[in-house]
């Protein structure tokens, strides 16, 4: 499958020139020897590296709900983050998303988060050639980490660092913060080893459920009690922390915890 989410480095000028066929007319050859076959004819066309399949991407916020990238998309940059999927309560969370969007439709336009997960890193940038090595480092770092059964509890309003988006999120129950922090620590160390930013300090573990454009904290905090009633209609929200995932572009790696 072609790598389509994030591109790699383009080929160099010298490499491109190797593929250009000569356009000069043939000269007179006294011995009338047949032309020697080209390297391309003998070896076949040069196969591109996986990251060369991708064309440059022009970011257009109108194509994705007005979202603005935190960093410029460039060929070779792969957006990367570490997370725990919220699969154990996904049906309940999706029901809440639908009800919240309907109830607040007259106040603002909310969008559902499609990937429901608890982040264990910031979104950072890796180069294509770093991904597999980074994954191996992360797997080794998590080798002794223990999994556990947790729950989400309540709601909280967040904005991103640029304050260009506001989120409604379900925080991790405080009873499980210490255990989640024990998993976060080796992940942070791998980030530092690769000269990447560690997670936020203090860490605030949560699953983002809905978002809207701009800084709407004041409005959404005023609606928090109403939203909380919708969530309380749901049963306990379980979070199975038995795997940690690494998402880099369209690649996804999973590490099973003890």
pTM (predicted TM-score)? 0.73
Higher pLDDT, 33 or 209: 209
pLDDT at res. 73: 53
DSSP string, the chain: ----SS--PPPPHHHHHHTPPP-SPPPP-TT-PPPPPPHHHHH-SPPPPGGGGPPP----GGGGTT---SS---TTEEEEEEEEE-GGGHHHHHHHHHHHHHHTTTT---EE-SS-EEESS--EEEEGGGHHHHHHHHHHHTTTPPPEEEEE-S-EEEE-TTSSEEEEEEEBPGGGHHHHHHHHHHHHHHHHHTT-----SS---EEEEEEEES--HHHHHHTHHHHHHHHHTS--EEEEESEEEEEETTEEEEEE--
Answer for the pair 113, 211: CB distance below 8 angstroms, yes or no: yes
Predicted local distance difference test score (pLDDT) of residue 63 = 44
Average pLDDT, the chain: 80
Please state the separation of Cα 211 from the chain's center in Å.
16
Q: Please state the separation of Cα 100 from the chain's center in Å.
A: 25
Average pLDDT over residues 161-188: 97
The residue-averaged pLDDT of 157-177 equals 96
User: In this predicted structure, what is the pLDDT of residue 8?
Assistant: 37
Closest CA to 130 of 188, 72, 187, 190: 190
Provide the pLDDT confidence category of residue 76 given band limits of 50, 70 and 90: confident
Instruction: Check the CA dihedral 94-98-100-104 and report its sign.
Output: positive
Which positions are annotated as active-site residues? 117, 206
Q: How far apart are CA 110 and CA 216, in angstroms?
A: 11
Lowest mean pLDDT across 13-17, 74-78, 187-191? 13-17
Mean pLDDT of the region 29-58: 47
| Residue 4 pLDDT > 50 | no
C-alpha to C-alpha distance for 102 and 226, rounded to whole angstroms: 12
Percent of the chain with pLDDT over 90: 67
Q: Give CATH for domain 72-256.
A: 3.90.1140.10
């Amino acid at each position: 499958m072609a790598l389509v989410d994030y591109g790699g480095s383009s080929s160099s000028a010298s490499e491109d020139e190797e593929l250009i066929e000569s356009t000069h007319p043939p000269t007179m050859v006294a011995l009338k020897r047949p032309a020697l076959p080209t390297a391309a004819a003998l070896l076949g066309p040069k196969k591109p590296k996986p990251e060369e399949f991708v064309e440059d991407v022009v970011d257009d916020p109108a194509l994705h709900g007005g979202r603005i990238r935190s960093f410029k998309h460039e060929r070779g940059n792969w957006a990367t983050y570490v997370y725990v999927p919220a699969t154990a309560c996904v049906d309940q969370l999706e029901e809440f998303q639908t009800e919240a969007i309907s109830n607040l439709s007259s106040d603002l336009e909310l969008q559902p988060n499609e990937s429901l997960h608890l982040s264990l890193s910031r979104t950072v940038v890796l180069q294509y050639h770093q991904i597999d090595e980074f994954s191996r480092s992360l797997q080794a770092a998590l080798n002794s980490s223990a999994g556990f059964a947790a729950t989400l509890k309540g709601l909280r309003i967040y904005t991103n660092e640029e304050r260009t988006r506001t989120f409604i999120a379900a925080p991790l129950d405080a009873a499980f913060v210490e255990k989640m922090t024990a998993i976060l620590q080796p992940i942070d160390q791998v980030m530092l080893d690769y000269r990447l930013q560690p997670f936020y300090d203090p860490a605030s573990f949560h699953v983002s459920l809905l978002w809207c454009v701009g800084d709407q904290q004041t409005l959404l905090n005023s609606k928090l009690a109403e939203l909380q009633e919708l969530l309380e209609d749901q049963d306990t929200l379980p979070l199975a922390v038995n795997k940690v995932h690494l998402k880099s572009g369209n690649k996804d790696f999973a590490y099973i915890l003890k």
